[in-house]
Structure 1
Amino acid sequence: MKMNAFIKTLAALSLGTLALSGLAQETYPNRPITLVVPTSPGGTTDFTARLISESLSKALGQPVVVENKGGASGNIGGQAVATAKPDGYTLLVAYSGYQVGNPHLFKKAPWDPIKDFTPVAFLTKAPQVVVATPSLPVSDLKELTAYAKANPGKLNYASSGNGSIQHIAGELLKQITGTRMAHIPYKGAGPAVQDLMAGQVDLIITTPASVVGQIKGDKLKALGVTSQTRLSALPNVPTTSEQGIKNFNLDSWFALYAPAGTPPDVVKKLNTEINKILARPEIQKKAEDSGTFVEQMTPAQLASFTKKEYDYWGNVIKNASITAE
């Protein structure tokens, strides 16, 4: 009888432990969540993080804090998340130029985009817009090409860092148009755009969200967009194809990743809530007004997409002979 009572007690304790364990998982999150942005404030990565942070906080019942960790072409922020505890409380709002470009640009990248991260949710994508400082005497890409050829080596273009899509786009534009321009890297699109408005640099090729307000306010000049069709946010700006520049269609994208080993139930919960947020008309309009577009994916779809993009941009970078070191 004593043995039977002892067995029953053990069984009850085991069931209680399982119940507590299940309860602990069900209560995620029970403290603040940090969205790490691997750029300075003011760029499209930062915009994307803030596009979802407030709504995600309300959905999860916990503060969702945006933390900017710019520098080293996104490697500082990326490494901070790659080495964080895989519990769903430290997440990376990744920019495609860093996430799938850096491993091909740095001989010793501090993280691997496939092995070190768990895909959570796709967020937004955006074409690029070629933007000039107001003092530059050109109004479109044809005039830019003519001016650059007449003044070889005089022009420069800014980027959010070595190896960013802006950097790659600038090198591709040089190759396609047969022009010479110097590359000036910054620690994020925000500081680069500030210097562009001040006339410290001549051009930047970046996502519309970083510059649409300044373009509409006549503080910057848009010379062309790299999408197949014109943007609703910038309806008067012609595409690169319209201006005779072929094969210059570029999209940046932004997605959420967790450290490798994050529990599947945590990933599923985040993906579900984020996709609900992205489906809201007001969120979609806010994104479109900035020149970006929301898109939804499952974690499995994002994993497949990431690998495909990793391979694609690896080929682009190799063919363009671009390095960050």
Structure 2
Amino acid sequence: MTDLTRRAFVAAAAGAVLMPQRAIAAFPDRPITVIVPYAAGGAGDMITRLISNAMEKALGQPIVIDARGGGGGMIGAKAVASAAPDGHTLMMGATNNFVINQFIFPKTSFDPLTEFVPITRVAVVPSVIYMNPSVPVKSLGEFVAYAKANPGKLSYSSPSVGTTPHLAVERLKQLTGIELVHVPYRGAPPAMQALITGDVQLYLAGWGVGRGFVQSGKARALAVASTSRLPNVPDVPTASESGVPGYVAENWWGLAAPKDTPQTAIDALHAAVKAALQDPAVEAKLSELGFLPGGESPAEFAKAAQAEAIVWRDTIAKGKLAVD
């Protein structure tokens, strides 16, 4: 990441860049479309639906959710980047849409740190490591030993190449020295379904995505890749407790607008999201799903994204994971 890119992202977040901006008499003056760049039914879709009612009350306009999966989230992201910068078309993007794709797909020449104005991170989703019950292991440590005894014979799914679940498993491989085959899908639901049917043996996702399958016995939750156990799932140990010290893998979902979107619109959207996250019903549901609420300022979001981008850049370089 260049210093120019870093400065541009911070300035956009803080509203400090002096640039021509379209005047907005009253924002919003029509429905707001939130593009989720993954298949319907995944965590991003779930989070957007969860906050949409409260946002509608704050903004006085309907929220229209448009799920556009494909290309590791690039298709939906580019659609938002090319939309009119008036605050009426937004992206609810995952970690990779902001700080991974520019490194995993370097030839696309698409840098989200300069193409979007950050609004806020909406939710942080600690990853749960799910296992197909057919695999004869009961803990993450046992899985690592089993994978080492069966190199290249086990596989894992992801919502697409370059997504956080993909790279988080690659980091697990780098930490433990195991060999796993990556099988990408188009979105979280088919990736989880592949685990359930036994087409793959491992998948990383939030608790809300796999909870029902664990409860029905169709999947096993080996560990949560977080610094602490999830309050609503106290029986699932952390990865560190399960034999892989220091392994943390969290996905997050953030709201962003096309670059040059007026600061007045950004401020109104940020206030609406914060109001939604403070709604008791939303807070309760996020906790139930194992999500941690966000709400930070645009500038804080920008700063955190810059720092994380460096981590993923180095992970991708070490694993030679960039796609030509």
Normalised to the residue count of structure 1, the TM-score between the two structures is 0.89
Residue equivalent to 2:203:
204
Paired residues of 2:90 and 2:255 also in contact (CA < 8 A): yes
Gaps of 5+ in 2: 1-22
Q: Which amino acid aligns with 1:47?
A: M
Q: Matches of 2:222 and 2:97 in 1, distance apart? A: 25
Residue equivalent to 2:55:
56
Residue equivalent to 1:231:
230
Secondary structure of the residue aligned to 2:218 is coil
Q: Matches of 1:304 and 1:173 in 2, distance apart? A: 26
Paired residues of 1:71 and 1:187 also in contact (CA < 8 A): yes
Secondary structure of the residue aligned to 2:28 is coil
Residue 213 (structure 1) shift:
2.4
Paired residues of 1:121 and 1:302 also in contact (CA < 8 A): yes
Residue equivalent to 1:270:
269
Q: Matches of 1:159 and 1:103 in 2, distance apart? A: 18
- Paired residues for 1:1-325 under 5 Å: 25-109=24-108, 111-325=110-324
Q: Matches of 2:323 and 2:213 in 1, distance apart? A: 29
Paired residues of 2:98 and 2:113 also in contact (CA < 8 A): no
Q: Matches of 2:232 and 2:42 in 1, distance apart? A: 17
Q: Matches of 2:24 and 2:172 in 1, distance apart? A: 50
Q: Matches of 2:25 and 2:212 in 1, distance apart? A: 42
Paired residues of 1:43 and 1:210 also in contact (CA < 8 A): yes
- Identity fraction in percent: 39
Secondary structure of the residue aligned to 1:222 is strand
Paired residues of 1:79 and 1:110 also in contact (CA < 8 A): no
Paired residues of 2:58 and 2:275 also in contact (CA < 8 A): no
- How many residues were matched structurally? 302
Paired residues of 2:54 and 2:279 also in contact (CA < 8 A): no
Residue 110 (structure 1) shift:
5.2
Residue 97 (structure 1) shift:
2.1
Residue 46 (structure 1) shift:
1.5
Secondary structure of the residue aligned to 2:113 is coil
Secondary structure of the residue aligned to 2:66 is strand
Secondary structure of the residue aligned to 1:243 is coil
Q: Which amino acid aligns with 1:262?
A: T
Gaps of 5+ in 1: 1-23
Q: Which amino acid aligns with 1:208?
A: W
Q: Matches of 1:25 and 1:323 in 2, distance apart? A: 40
Of 304-313 and 233-242, deviating more is 304-313
Residue 26 (structure 1) shift:
4.7
Of 92-101 and 140-149, deviating more is 140-149
Q: Matches of 1:280 and 1:75 in 2, distance apart? A: 31
- C-alpha RMSD of matched pairs (Å): 1.5
Residue equivalent to 1:18:
none
Q: Which has the larger radius of gyration?
A: 1
Normalised to the residue count of structure 2, the TM-score between the two structures is 0.89
Secondary structure of the residue aligned to 1:166 is helix
Looking at both structures, which has the greater relative contact order when contacts are Cα pairs under 8 Å and sequence separation is at least 6? Answer: 2
Residue equivalent to 1:12:
none
Paired residues of 1:117 and 1:260 also in contact (CA < 8 A): yes
Residue 164 (structure 1) shift:
1.0
Residue 233 (structure 1) shift:
2.7
Paired residues of 2:54 and 2:272 also in contact (CA < 8 A): no
